[in-house]
Chains A and B, each alone.
Chain A
Amino acid sequence: MAVDPLIELHGVNKHFGELHVLRDIDLTVGKGEVVVVIGPSGSGKSTLCRAINRLETVESGTIRLDGRPLPEEGRALARLRADVGMVFQSFNLFAHKTVLQNVSLAQIKVRKHAREAADSRSLELLDRVGLAAQAPKYPAQLSGGQQQRVAIARALAMEPKALLFDEPTSALDPEMINEVLEVMRQLARDGMTMVVVTHEMGFARSAANRVVFMDDGRIVEDRPPEEFFTAPRTERAKDFLSKILKH
């Protein structure tokens, strides 16, 4: 893997005030790869994920997507973001739009597709995440798991080169987590390039090509999931795994 890099970070640093949240991050994600980022809270994993499409700016280092450096604010950045989908912890569906409009909006306004074409593609995608029947409803009428699946369909509607997941199941009731993870597993099987920040170790084991373990703003380990979970190299990772895998 990683022969054909899609996302490349080199020497990336970022501070939040005094806090050094990203320290000399080097990370390469190849086309079709699924990289799961785990670590204790405050370790910088969400910031890393958000830096990839510049929702967080970085102070030093380079971030490249498909070989091109991340542009500054403006139209070029908007174009690039259209190619990198993002799924958030709090879903962030547009509250004033129906489910169908949520999925169609950017296709029409950013990709300039005709409304009919956009809507029919949206329905296809909603069907794929099992929610075609909910198309005319508003986000507030759906459960958390359903909202998150709509958010995934909305990101997919842009035909992205890669998808970023920022703790997609952390705000969900336990029984809804699986319906979202199942959609994500299917995407992984279909060859989508994915960076997933999560606490779902089961997903990391079953779907990831690599597990990246972060602590205190650094990437501490970056290895295939079986190796990482059975024989972590660092004390910090051993300690982390012993705490979360016990119960």
Chain B
Amino acid sequence: MNVLIDNFSLYAEGFLGTLELTVYSSVLALLLGFLMASFRVAPVRSLRVFGTVWVTVLRNTPLTLLFFAVLLGLPRFGVVLPFEVFAVLALGCYTSAFICEALRSGINTVPTGQGEAARSLGMTFTQTLNLVVLPQAFRSVIPPVGSTLIALAKNSAIAGAFSVTELLGTYKTLSELGYNIVWTFVWIAVGYLIITFAISALFNALEKKWGVAR
């Protein structure tokens, strides 16, 4: 218990760091995932190819490697940003590939006839997607998107290795100060649980309100 009380501000700083990384990356991942999912079902071939390449590359790259690529690679092209922003970019892009596929599986649950009916009424591709297909797909993608965002919260720990302030990274300072490593990690785990349980609760609520009625 002492380790938490003595170092509360350090823990709080790490916790907020992880929370910020999670929130910003989630927003980026949801937006990009939504865009890529639209690309992958678009009637334009080049958009479909772009979406497929995006997913294939990001989903099959180890996240740590992606962090290296972004944090060490982008500055070589003159893109210099705070490490936090690089971390959000890496996490957001990586997770967007998974969000895209979750959304696409949801789109596939909507009968093709719904899209055909919308198009036969003169709706454009964007209208068909936004007014008819996605609202119905949304109901079935709530659970997998929730899981993906929980994974994102935990993946944010990798940012700690690149000197971004986040929760897991606090253990280094604490173990140097000689605190019991077990209790240090127990409180770190509690911090992650608070975030992941919050995401779970949010998505349970969304599912209760919008989920498919059975």
Contacts and interface: CB of A to CB of B under 8 A. Distances in A.
A81 B122 contact: yes
B208 interface: no
Interface string B117-140: 111111110010001100110010
Question: Which has the most chain B C-beta neighbours within 10 Å: A80, A94, A110?
Answer: A94
Contact of A94 (B114, B120, B122, B124): B114
Interface residues of B, number: 19
A151 B135 CA distance: 20
Nearest to A83: B122
B43 interface: yes
A96 B123 contact: no
A73 interface: yes
Interface in B87-129: 111, 113-114, 116-124, 127
A80 B122 CA distance: 7
A246 interface: no
Contacts of A105: 121, 131
Interface string A84-120: 1110101011111000000001100110000000000
B113 A81 contact: no
A106 B119 CA distance: 10
Contact of B117 (A73, A75, A93, A109): A93
A83 B139 CA distance: 32
Contact of A90 (B113, B120, B123): B113
Contact of B123 (A53, A106, A151): A106
Contacts of A96: 135-136, 139
A73 B44 CA distance: 9
Contacts of A82: 121-122
Given A94-B114, A105-B131, A110 B123 contact: yes
B127 A85 contact: no
A92 B121 contact: no
A214 to B, nearest CB: 21
Contacts of B114: 92, 94-95
Nearest to B120: A86
Nearest to A102: B117
A83 B118 CA distance: 13
Given A86-B120, A95-B136, A109 B113 contact: no
Question: Which has the most chain A C-beta neighbours within 10 Å: B117, B122, B132?
Answer: B122
Contact of B43 (A73, A83, A94, A155): A73
Contact of A53 (B118, B120, B124, B136): B120
Contacts of B116: 55, 86, 88, 92
Contacts of A58: none
Interface in A130-156: 151, 154-155
Instruction: In the A-B complex, list the 8 residue pairs whose CB atoms are closest, starting with the nearest.
Output: A82-B122, A92-B117, A106-B121, A86-B120, A92-B113, A110-B122, A81-B122, A78-B124
26 contacts: A53-B120, A55-B119, A75-B124, A78-B119, A78-B124, A80-B122, A81-B119, A81-B120, A84-B120, A86-B117, A86-B120, A88-B113, A88-B116, A90-B111, A92-B113, A92-B116, A94-B117, A94-B136, A95-B114, A95-B136, A106-B121, A106-B122, A109-B127, A109-B131, A110-B122, A154-B121
Given A55-B120, A78-B122, 5 more contacts: A55-B116, A94-B118, A106-B123, A110-B122, A158-B121
